[in-house]
Chain A
């Protein structure tokens, strides 16, 4: 595959990394990948910061409505989803650990469990969304929920759907990334010398957990 590459005569075998010609060492390539991922995660933080800012402003303007609307969410389902995501963060960390220890089968099991947690999260979220749609607790002009009529309740649901929706989109993307990592693990692509792709996929998944850690108390427990 890389025989045409004048710089490298070494072809990566199973579990071995490929060194791109513009890097001197494997370590340098790994760290460039890590830096790129952290930079991307930094932009993700700023993306969500904009929404947290909108939340702050509207919560300040419509304090009572936000309180009432928040009490209408299911704390049970929200807490369950928090536990699901926290546990999925653990299992993806254990998957990376297993790859680093050259235990590929164990890593595959942990990744499958993580992906199942992601599906569970989305399932619970869709139960919550269905309930809100049924009640008419919807954003903006679609709001027609008779139980909470305080002005600004529709803004709470605008913020709620936007933030949890963008977060759920990240869950879906993270799930796809982990599926791709799982495919690589299944093919024996990764091992103690080649785990950066697994590490970066896991980093993305942890970010999904991080965002939820703040979303949960701010949306469900106010």
Chain B
């Protein structure tokens, strides 16, 4: 591992990696960009854009995160080994979420909790509720003990 590490940083080691000091202007620009993205996501977040809301929010968040990782965390000039371990963990996190969401997305409505008969007692059972619809309940159900 050490040899790989050395080989990967060979270029910067030649010039001395300690000289990787940038001016502060790039940090200020990133900060302004992050503030602008925050403003956009707050503005669009409470507008009803239908199916666009979630992908838009996630795109903006990913843009912000990328800027933080590349510039604030200096991944733009970090040894490749560091990029590999971090990006791999992100890839697996995405695989985990997409895999499980794929399962949920393709489920029969009957297997969703909203389609299950209420276990909270007959007085708040909702009749004729279409699958997927959220029944209205006036009283707050007492927590049932197992």
Chain A residues proximal to chain B, CB less than 8 Å: 23-25, 27-28, 30-32, 34-35, 38-39, 41-43, 45-46, 48-50, 52-53, 56-57, 60-62, 64-65, 75, 79, 82-83, 86-87, 89-90, 93-94, 97, 100-101, 140-141, 143-144, 146, 149-152, 192-193, 199, 202-203, 206, 209-210, 213-214, 216-218, 220-222
Which of A30, A65, A206 meets B73, CB within 8 Å? A206
The smallest C-beta distance from A164 to any residue of chain B, in angstroms, reads 16
Measured in the bound complex, the distance between the Cα atoms of B82 and A213 in whole Å is 22
Known: A42-B90, A49-B97; 18 extra A-B contacts, CB below 8 A, are A27-B9, A31-B79, A34-B82, A42-B88, A49-B92, A49-B96, A60-B101, A60-B104, A86-B38, A89-B34, A93-B71, A101-B21, A192-B21, A206-B72, A209-B72, A213-B64, A216-B61, A217-B41
| Interface size of B in residues (CB-CB distance below 8 Å) | 63
Please determine whether B112 and A61 come into contact, CB atoms closer than 8 angstroms: yes
Measured in the bound complex, the distance between the Cα atoms of B140 and A114 in whole Å is 43
Question: Sorted from nearest, which 3 A-B pairs have the closest CB atoms?
Answer: A221-B45, A42-B89, A49-B93
**Chain A to chain B contacts (Cβ below 8 Å), 25 pairs:** A31-B5, A34-B79, A35-B5, A35-B79, A35-B82, A41-B89, A42-B88, A45-B90, A46-B89, A46-B92, A61-B104, A64-B134, A75-B42, A75-B46, A90-B28, A90-B31, A90-B72, A151-B113, A192-B21, A206-B69, A210-B65, A214-B65, A216-B61, A217-B41, A221-B45
The smallest C-beta distance from B19 to any residue of chain A, in angstroms, reads 9
Max chain B CB contacts within 10 Å: which of A34, A50, A143, A218?
Answer: A34
The smallest C-beta distance from A35 to any residue of chain B, in angstroms, reads 5
- Residues in B with CB closer than 8 Å to A213 are 61, 64-65, 68
- Residues in A with CB closer than 8 Å to B85 are 35, 38-39, 42
Q: Secondary structure at chain A's binding surface: helix, strand, loop or mixed?
A: helix
Please determine whether B34 and A38 come into contact, CB atoms closer than 8 angstroms: no
Measured in the bound complex, the distance between the Cα atoms of B3 and A24 in whole Å is 11
The smallest C-beta distance from B10 to any residue of chain A, in angstroms, reads 10
With contacts A61-B114, A192-B18 taken as known, whether A94 is within 8 angstroms of B78 at the C-beta atoms is: no
With contacts A38-B85, A221-B57 taken as known, whether A206 is within 8 angstroms of B41 at the C-beta atoms is: no
Which of A23, A38, A144 meets B82, CB within 8 Å? A38
- Residues in B with CB closer than 8 Å to A192 are 18, 21
The smallest C-beta distance from B5 to any residue of chain A, in angstroms, reads 5
- Residues in A with CB closer than 8 Å to B72 are 89-90, 93, 202, 206, 209
Which of B34, B81, B101, B135 meets A56, CB within 8 Å? B101
With contacts A52-B97, A83-B38, A149-B138 taken as known, whether A203 is within 8 angstroms of B27 at the C-beta atoms is: no
Please determine whether B134 and A65 come into contact, CB atoms closer than 8 angstroms: yes
